[in-house]
Amino acid sequence: MNSKIQWNGSMEFTATSGSGHEQVMDASEANGGKDAGPRPKELLLNGLGGCTGMDVVSILRKMRQTPKSFRIEVEADQTEEHPMIFKKIHITFFFSGDDLDHEKVVRAVEMSQTKYCGVSEILRKSADLTYEIKYE
């Protein structure tokens, strides 16, 4: 796995992943940027949501469970001192669907969080990582 990061001037950077996808990152205007993209730590939270989301969908497919809709919200608190790192991260998994088996949904989320999601495991080393499941 690799990534190449190109400075675009000001506080803007473009990251190109090894798979060829680009993502612009920038700082807020208050911090010298142009607000042209997400902050690097926001991308960590996006990566967390994507990692666990892909796990959950894959596990549910194997269990023959198909949600009508599925989304994830990730909220984080960070320390006030530098380096400002995440101290608390909370993931909320939102599901909808008439035929979902609650026990299978719980099992899929637990398996992602305890066995498969590498991003969760990395972030858990510095932050209190919690999660909950809600139905819409």
At 96, which CATH number? 3.30.300.20
Percent of the chain with pLDDT over 90: 100
Query: Which residues neighbour 107 within 8 Å (Cβ) at sequence distance 6 or greater?
Result: 59, 63
Nearest in space to 39 (alpha carbons), one of 6, 13, 16, 72:
13
The pLDDT score that the predictor gives to residue 86 is 98
Are residues 94 and 75 both part of a single domain? Answer: yes
23 shares its domain with 76: no
Q: Report if pTM > 0.85.
A: yes
Instruction: State the pLDDT at residue 82.
Output: 96
For the chain, residues with pLDDT lower than 50 are: none
Q: 91 and 63, same structural domain?
A: yes
- Which range of residues forms the domain containing residue 20? 1-38
Q: Average per-residue pLDDT in the chain?
A: 97
pLDDT for residue 69: 98
Q: Do 30 and 91 have their domain in common?
A: no
Q: Are 55 and 71 within one domain?
A: yes
